[in-house]
Structure 1
Amino acid sequence: MTSLPEDPLSLIREDDRDAAVRRLQDAYAEGHLSHEEMDERLGRALTARTHGELVSALASLPAENAGTTSTIAVAGGRIRRRGAWRVPRFLKVESAFGKVHLDLSRAVFDHAEVDIELQLGTGRAKITVPRDATVDIEDLRTGWKDSLHRVPRGHRPGVPRIRISGTMGFGRLKIRHARR
């Protein structure tokens, strides 16, 4: 969940509410909550208006396992990540329509292997990977155009391995290796 501000009376955003719901569902799936307790807490999270109310719905849950799984989702518009951002072990990117640009060239990799699942309707996607990274797109299904990816020469051992899977409807995935 995004970090909550210090003021418990400040109003929440929809992405805060969505993150809280996902966290409750994950806690239930991991056996930390009973079915009744999950229902009650989901009700509080869905009706919460302030950060204090949202925090009370998440009270006593175990700490999140940071950095392993993350989802970026929009109905329409642009998804863009660039600069020095931490790449989780599993990254799911969902967009009904719009452009996606993930620049991993200066990203921080805590894991030797990273799985990126694309669930894209229409629009193109561009992923810039580190210069020596290995990229596998065998499990990516495209509905309209083929993916563009030229494998550079001279891969070294110990560089990140990036597996891209999922489904792309109408659009093209372009993978580029950084030059620096």
Structure 2
Amino acid sequence: MTSLPEDSPPQMSEDDRDTAVQRLQEAYAEGLISHEEFDERLHQVLTAEARSELVSALASLPEKHPGTTSTIGAAGGRIQRHGVWRVPRFLKVESAFGRVRLDLSRAIIEHPVIDIELQLGTGRAEITVPRDAVVDVEGLRTGWKDLRYNAPRRSGPGEPKIQISGTMGFGRLKIRHARR
């Protein structure tokens, strides 16, 4: 059963609501709940007035699997992943300053949806995704520079969806699709 953090106060906060919405989105993306069930539970979460209503909306969801999230971090310098490597369902990349380069073009992607959370202070980041991947950057907040991404006109069915979220302070994120 999924629950909100036990040390949370009894009164509901917007962070509690956001956490519940995110968990429902993850459960839907992982195929744990149907579209109709997602809509019903989402409505319950968005209209909840007490924490107990949030808890009941998440009651029958299985716990998140530990180990499905990997974190790559560095205070400075370079963070690189390229070639053949296994991409986890949830990938968190943290860097105070430096350069981040993730190449998923030859990576082993076993999940239909990959969440990449960027927590970057300064520096540049470049992410290369598979040729027909669908990229969602709606959850990314940038500070000083803008995002460089030109979505392709078409993508194939069944291709991976790469969701990029998080925050970037002073730097630029460039996303490109592999040519092969």
TM-score, with normalisation over the residues of structure 1? 0.63
Structure 2 equivalent of residue 107 of structure 1: 107
Structure 1 stretches of 4+ moved >2 Å: none
* 1:152 Cα deviation from its structure 2 partner: 1.0
Code of the residue aligned with 1:155 in structure 2: it is: S
- Report the Cα distance in structure 1 between the residues aligned to 2:110 and 2:155, rounded to whole angstroms: 19
- What is the correspondence of 1:27-176 to structure 2 with a 5 Å cutoff? 65-66=66-67, 68-176=68-176
- Report the Cα distance in structure 2 between the residues aligned to 1:133 and 1:144, rounded to whole angstroms: 27
* Structure index of larger Rg: 1
Q: Secondary structure at the match of 2:98?
A: strand
- Report the Cα distance in structure 2 between the residues aligned to 1:111 and 1:123, rounded to whole angstroms: 29
How many residues of Structure 1 are paired with residues of Structure 2 in the alignment? 118
* 1:163 Cα deviation from its structure 2 partner: 0.3
- Report the Cα distance in structure 2 between the residues aligned to 1:91 and 1:154, rounded to whole angstroms: 26
Code of the residue aligned with 1:93 in structure 2: it is: V
- Structure 2: 5+ residue runs without aligned partners? 6-64
* 1:153 Cα deviation from its structure 2 partner: 2.0
- Report the Cα distance in structure 2 between the residues aligned to 1:120 and 1:153, rounded to whole angstroms: 29
- Structure 1: 5+ residue runs without aligned partners? 1-28, 30-63
Structure 2 equivalent of residue 38 of structure 1: none
Structure 1 equivalent of residue 31 of structure 2: none
Structure 1 equivalent of residue 14 of structure 2: none
Percent identity, please: 73
Q: Secondary structure at the match of 1:76?
A: coil
* 1:65 Cα deviation from its structure 2 partner: 4.9
Deviations 1:73-114 (A, max 9, x none): 000000000001000000000000000000000000110000
- Report the Cα distance in structure 1 between the residues aligned to 2:156 and 2:81, rounded to whole angstroms: 25
Structure 1 equivalent of residue 25 of structure 2: none
Deviations 1:9-68 (A, max 9, x none): xxxxxxxxxxxxxxxxxxxx9xxxxxxxxxxxxxxxxxxxxxxxxxxxxxxxxxx954x2
TM-score, with normalisation over the residues of structure 2? 0.63
Deviations 1:105-145 (A, max 9, x none): 00001100000000000000000000000000011000001
- Report the Cα distance in structure 2 between the residues aligned to 1:117 and 1:153, rounded to whole angstroms: 25
- Report the Cα distance in structure 1 between the residues aligned to 2:156 and 2:97, rounded to whole angstroms: 36
- Report the Cα distance in structure 2 between the residues aligned to 1:131 and 1:162, rounded to whole angstroms: 12
- Report the Cα distance in structure 1 between the residues aligned to 2:151 and 2:90, rounded to whole angstroms: 22
Code of the residue aligned with 1:83 in structure 2: it is: G
